[in-house]
Amino acid sequence: MADDTVADIKRQSMTIIVTKGSLDWAYPPFILATTAAAMDYDVTLFFTFYGLALVKKKLDPKFTVLGNAAMEMPMFGTHIAMPNFLPMIPGVDAMAGAMMKSLIKKNNVASLEDLREAAVLSDVRMIACNMTVELFDYKREDLMDEIELGGAASYFEVAAKSHINMFI
């Protein structure tokens, strides 16, 4: 078992269906995809619905504290929960988004732009759901050049042969 590394046996593969496009939810798929690629997995990301925001040429994910009961921002030396009335106040979500970005920077967490670039450089395959591209009236030229357009069948063709399939 000890000498028997998985890499010797077979190249592994992973897919993630990416359905969310907010600043906080953008991180898990790109972190997992880049790490898996670094660990020799063939990785495919399938972007659909709000996940499409993450494959626009201009990456500018928004942030909201609404409905996020578990969110506690480290502030004033403690943790402050974000009550649901807050995002009704104009500017609060933008402020919370800016705070999240500065927190990310302060902690030397990779920027989303860098992670997405790393995903491209490590040959992560990216498919944009054609139906939702049309539904939301995105233009092909709004999306990254590396993106393929495909549908559910394209996803399943890869997923059926993959060792890990996730939905985020």
Partner 1 sequence: MSEHVLDAKGLNCPLPILKAKKALKAVPAGEILTVYSTDPGSVADFAAFCNQTGNELVDSSQDGDVYVFQIKHTAG
Which stretches of the chain bind partner 1, using CB under 8 A? 5-8, 31, 34-35, 38-40, 107-110, 118, 122
Task: Identify which of 26, 29, 30, 23 has the alpha carbon closest to the alpha carbon of residue 96.
Answer: 23
Q: How many CB atoms lie within 10 A of CB 24?
A: 16
The minimum distance between CB 31 and partner 1, in angstroms, equals 5
Please identify, using beta-carbon distances, which residue of 38 and 94 lies nearer to partner 1: 38
Q: Which is nearer to partner 1, 7 or 135 (CB)?
A: 7
Of 78 and 108, nearer to partner 1 (C-beta) is 108
Report the b/e string of 130-152 with b at 16+ CB within 10 A. Answer: bebbeeeebeeeebbeebeebee
Q: Which helix (H) or strand (E) holds 133?
A: helix 130-135
Shortest approach of partner 1 to residue 104 CB, angstroms? 9
Confirm if 51 and 112 have CB atoms less than 8 A apart: no
Total Cβ atoms within 10 A of residue 91: 8
Nearest approach in angstroms of CB 34 to partner 1 is 6
Q: How far is the CB of 28 from partner 1 (least distance, A)?
A: 11
* Residue 31, token pair as written in the block: 């972190």
Considering the complex, state which of residue 35 and residue 165 has its C-beta at the smaller distance from partner 1.
Answer: 35
Least distance in Å: CB of 60 to partner 1? 22
Nearer to partner 1, 26 or 143 (CB): 26
